[in-house]
Amino acid sequence: MSVRLGYYPGCSQGSSAAEYDISTRACCKALDVELVDVPDWTCCGSTPAHTVDHHLAGALSARNLRQAEGAGLASVTTPCPSCLAALKTADLHLAEPAFRTEVERLLGGPAPGHVDCKSVLQVLYEQIGAEAVTAKVKKPLAGLRVAPYYGCLLSRPPALMAFDDPENPVSMDALLRACGAEIVDFAYKTECCGAAFGMPRLDVMTRLSARILGAAVEAGADCVAVACPLCQMNLDLRQGQVDSAAGRAASNLPVPYFTQLMALALGLSDADACLNKLVVPLEPALAKAAARAREAAAAKAAKEAAKKQSKPAAADAAKPEAEKEASCA
Amino acid sequence: MKTIDLESSRDTAFMDAVACESGQELKSCYQCGNCTAGCVYTHDYDLPVHQVIRLVQLGQKEQALSCRSIWLCATCQACTTRCPNNIEVARVMDVLRHMARRQGKTPERLVKTFADSFLKSVARHGRVFEAGLAMTFAIKSGKPMQDAGLGPAMLTRGKLAFAPHEPSNQAKTEVAGIFDRFAAGKPACHAEPTAATTEAKQ
């Protein structure tokens, strides 16, 4: 089943999060999701706008919803959780007459009607699904241990985002498992990374990101998969700052977007996966995972060979137990 | 310990304004502390979030609007998600920050500088120009070298666009118009919670 959606990239997709944009577009194409760019989109206002004024934030987002509506796009998807929260918040409050009036004053024209907004993660999980992903996997991420990090906003607050579990989201787990990865038990899935405090309060941001990276290392993860440009920047680009503030050796933990991992599994090109944009390289982790997968396969083969060799004896030994089970049933 | 005369310092207009601008019924907060328990920023706050809410309940405008906490809330939504009385706590923190801004209170100067620089970039380019924002902030913050070390990593990976990635002139004009009309002033709050917001909270 093919899906057609408006696509709102968000400002960072053109520069600091280019790999998220490229890998998202490539994965969607491979999975039959048609993305139509919202024409002439502008900034949603993100966090700074709502911390200054709710109507200002509403108007900046509403302009984009109006652009989507004008292009006949009733549903819009965005890879960025902060953009998503801004768009959904505006859409929700535009139903209030007083809010709508003030937003229309700021827009200098009519505000849009309802536009359905979803994260790319939600679209891939709900509208495509893990099974359909598995069916298209060409190079399984066998042996790769991934800590899935969702960040604050993808499923929170639940009344607004209406997606996945607010405390223990599992959508990314399912998609990456469908890609053959091993998902480690990770308790920091939704703990805040320090968000936009990297510039104004680096001390606050490094303290929070240090906990997340530390927990992922402790969980035995080869990498942390993310779905947010700001989380990615804090955990990857600023990883050196985080480790040095925590007074510890380099974590050396790659932080790819989940769409980059999916692109690899779907057998898409290097240009689509864009691994060269990551600050902490993923390749060593992939090599380690491949070696681990080979070892596991060899161990399994050896075990089977051993089983085959001692088959008559094993069959005899198993017999009484099988009989016992049968009698129990 | 600071003593507060609750009777003489209760500002009911402030209580009403917070309720109106946030659309939240703070009377239903019974101070369980769940918001604070889940807040990863409590470590950096001068007042834990449940105490900020308590100050609003008691009409203590000056204290509520002077704290650093309202500037350090990242709107991660853990509090809103976990409030047993469905109070959008993060929205209340937002509204308090709006009020503090209007009163010229900025105990976390750089947090305000960052937000202002970001929005200035949007008003000018229609979208955020990241490299420009980083440069502006580096200069305004008085900490020009803090992130200088990140430059090479970004440059070698082509993650730092030197020119803004702008929409059409028409779109830029529309965005600039939003900021102009916002600067021209807004009416006082007269919003009533509607069925849509009430429903969403349930």
Over residues B156-176, the pLDDT tens digits come to 998 888 899 999 999 999 999
Average pLDDT of span B12-26 = 96
Minimum distance, in Å, between the CA of residue B77 and any CA atom of chain A: 6
Hey, are the CB atoms on A40 and B167 less than 8 Å from each other? yes
Of the candidates B21, B77, B172, which has its C-beta nearest A157's C-beta? B77
All structural domains of chain B, each given as residue ranges with its CATH number in brackets, are: 10-103 (1.10.1060.10), 109-183 (no CATH)
Q: Does residue A100 sit at the B interface (CB-CB below 8 Å)?
A: no
* A138-304 maps to CATH 3.20.20.300: no
Q: How far apart are CA A148 and CA B123, in angstroms?
A: 35
- pLDDT value at residue A13: 94
Q: Which residues in chain A are closer than 8 Å to B116, comparing Cβ atoms?
A: 48
Indicate if A138-304 has the same CATH topology as A1-128: no
Q: How far apart are CA A275 and CA A261, in angstroms?
A: 9
Q: How far apart are CA A208 and CA A211, in angstroms?
A: 5
Q: Which of A13, A22, A53 to mutate to test the interface with B (most CBs of B within 10 A)?
A: A53
Hey, are the CB atoms on B157 and A96 less than 8 Å from each other? no
Q: Does residue A48 sit at the B interface (CB-CB below 8 Å)?
A: yes
- pLDDT value at residue B2: 75
Q: Does residue A152 sit at the B interface (CB-CB below 8 Å)?
A: yes
- pLDDT value at residue B195: 42
In tens, the pLDDT along B35-85 reads: 999 999 999 999 999 999 999 999 999 999 999 999 999 999 999 999 999
Minimum distance, in Å, between the CA of residue A294 and any CA atom of chain B: 32
Domain boundaries, chain A: 1-128, 138-304
Q: Which residues in chain B are closer than 8 Å to A168, comparing Cβ atoms?
A: none
Tens digit of each residue's pLDDT, chain A (329 residues): 578 999 999 999 988 999 999 999 999 999 999 999 999 999 999 999 999 999 999 999 999 999 999 999 999 999 999 999 999 999 999 999 999 999 999 999 999 999 999 999 999 999 999 999 999 999 999 999 999 999 999 999 999 999 999 999 999 999 999 999 999 999 999 999 999 999 999 999 999 999 999 999 999 999 999 999 999 999 999 999 999 999 999 999 999 999 999 999 999 999 999 999 999 999 999 999 999 999 999 999 999 999 998 876 555 555 555 444 444 43
> Residue B187 — very low, low, confident or very high, per pLDDT cuts 50/70/90?
low
- pLDDT value at residue A326: 46
Nearest CA in chain B to A197: B111
B111 pLDDT more than 90:
yes
> Residue B201 — very low, low, confident or very high, per pLDDT cuts 50/70/90?
very low
- pLDDT value at residue B104: 96
For A1-128, CATH gives 1.20.1050.140
Residue B63 sits at the vertex; the CA angle it makes with B61 and B69, to the nearest 5 degrees, is 115
- pLDDT value at residue A317: 53
